[in-house]
Amino acid sequence: MTGRGPERTAARSAVRAATGRLGARVAGLRWADVPSEVRERVSAVLVDAVAVTALGAREPAQRALVEAWDAPAGPAPLFGTGREVAVDAAAWLNATASVRLELDDGHRLAGGHPAAHGFPAVLALAARHRVPGEELCCALLAAYEVAARFGRATRLRPGTHPHGNWGVAGAAAGCARVLGLSATDTATAIDAGGGLPVAGPFVAALDGNPVRDLWMGAANQSGLAAARLAASGTGHPTGVAADALGDLLGTLDPDLLDGGDGWEVLGGYFKQHSSCSFTHAAVDAALDLRDRVDGEVEQVLVEVHSLGAQLDRTSWPTPLAAMFSLPFAVATALRRGRMAPADTSPHALADPATADLARRITVRAAADLDARLPTERPARVTVTTAAGPLVAERPNPVGDAAHHPFTSRDRDRVLGALLGSPDTMADLRTRCAALPTTPDAGEALRALGAAIPVR
């Protein structure tokens, strides 16, 4: 539905009104008034975001991108590199690094990754402006809350990848808060962010095209642009997301943008497997079956909801393609007892035994599992040997807010092992916990970046 008909006019008006209320909420945030549970969760998400960004920065592909970028020196840390670069470069490069290994946290009901859409831009901008730590924390919370609400309100057309579209509004909100914009100007920034989506095809991830990682960089860059537009006083909010997200890319429900008083950040999930979240419940089930398998695996049936059924490729030209392949992820779990970054190395991707097992894995959409969306994202795995079939089912991945959610200790265990030092995670957690009391967030962020070992 396009044009200037009454329904479109009403939709734009409703979205504009909702962004106005979101702008007021963001501008009125006071860290002291935020519930302690929410403050602790924001800190946990920040620790997770910095850690997975540093891990992503170690990947050869990310190092090559940073070198080719030739970013000018500046005030913003490029986590995991020991470098400080210009704000825009840090926002884009940290964002791509954060999603490089598919370890970044997400939100099941938003259908993607609110923090990755906005945290890199907020952190980079805060490193440029001498804002108090409490203001930075409010900005991070604003970025997450607005992004998650736009994610919940948006239903993308089938075949559209969620990176770089609904989350831009969150990046805009967080950057507006760093800049100290008024409620009206913050609403203008959110509105502009809603008009700057990337129309990325999901098949790019299945094909292993790394442009998919750049979409997250574009989201953060667009959030910066939207906030700067609002700061210039030249914005003109029109409820443009009603057309950009709610017509061109899918549908948008304005009532979900600012309805309710809950905190979206409490509904997020953390990841333990280096792969698309649609694979995680199946990987968890495969790991459960691994020790029970007696003899050679003859065949494997992976039944999953329709969102995950498209991840059925049995070839993987790049690490990204492998991370978006259920046959690869399940075969790796059964063979290696994990799905970690090392399992998408060139050597692991070329492993003939993994490829042979993957060819014996069938992925099938199951109506009974589809019916449980979006409350659950279930998977059922059946491994057949000469002794007969073994079956395991999971309602959601381990680590989801609704299924064995991870504690900070769990994340320290997973990410500390990947970083090669549990002490690094303890230091990150201590530094992030101290951010609300620092008078200069920029100085604290540069110290945080310098404290991460470079490898």
Is the Cα torsion angle 130, 136, 138, 143 positive or negative in sign?
Answer: positive
Question: Half-sphere exposure of residue 328, counting CA atoms within 13 Å on the CB side?
Answer: 30
Domain 6-272+428-451 part of CATH 1.10.4100.10: yes
pLDDT in tens, the chain (455 residues): 456 688 889 999 999 999 999 999 999 999 999 999 999 999 999 999 999 999 999 999 999 999 999 999 999 999 999 999 999 999 999 999 999 999 999 999 999 999 999 999 999 999 999 899 999 999 999 999 999 999 999 999 999 999 999 999 999 999 999 999 999 999 999 999 999 999 999 999 999 999 999 999 999 999 999 999 999 999 999 999 999 999 999 999 999 998 778 999 999 999 999 999 999 999 999 999 999 998 899 999 999 999 999 999 999 999 999 999 999 999 999 999 999 999 999 999 999 999 999 999 999 999 999 999 999 999 999 999 999 999 999 999 999 998 999 988 888 889 999 998 889 999 999 999 999 999 999 999 999 999 999 98
Nearest in space to 177 (alpha carbons), one of 188, 190, 169, 186? 186
Whole-model pTM over 0.95: yes
- Residue 346's contacts (CB-CB under 8 Å, 6 or more residues apart) are none
What totals of helices (H) and strands (E) does the chain contain, helices first? 21, 8
pLDDT value, residue 98: 98
Q: How far apart are CA 302 and CA 285, in angstroms?
A: 10
- Residue 400's contacts (CB-CB under 8 Å, 6 or more residues apart) are 108, 269, 377
Q: How far apart are CA 64 and CA 252, in angstroms?
A: 38
What is the full DSSP assignment across 330-391?
Answer: HHHHHHHS---GGGGSHHHHT-HHHHHHHTTEEEEE-HHHHTTTTT---EEEEEEETTEEEE
Nearest in space to 254 (alpha carbons), one of 112, 154, 108? 154
Query: Homologous superfamily of 277-394 in CATH?
Result: 2-methylcitrate dehydratase PrpD (3.30.1330.120)
C-alpha distances out from residue 279 to 49, 211, 333, Å: 21, 21, 11
pLDDT value, residue 262: 92
Instruction: For residue 160, give the 3-state DSSP assignment.
Output: strand
C-alpha distances out from residue 421 to 232, 424, 426, 445, Å: 45, 5, 9, 20
Q: How far apart are CA 150 and CA 427, in angstroms?
A: 33
C-alpha distances out from residue 283 to 30, 217, 286, 327, 331, Å: 41, 28, 5, 10, 9
pLDDT value, residue 444: 97
Question: Half-sphere exposure of residue 51, counting CA atoms within 13 Å on the CB side?
Answer: 34
pLDDT value, residue 1: 46
pLDDT value, residue 396: 96
Report the Cα 450 to chain-centroid distance in Å. Answer: 24
Q: How far apart are CA 260 and CA 417, in angstroms?
A: 39
Domain segments of the chain as ranges? 6-272+428-451, 277-394
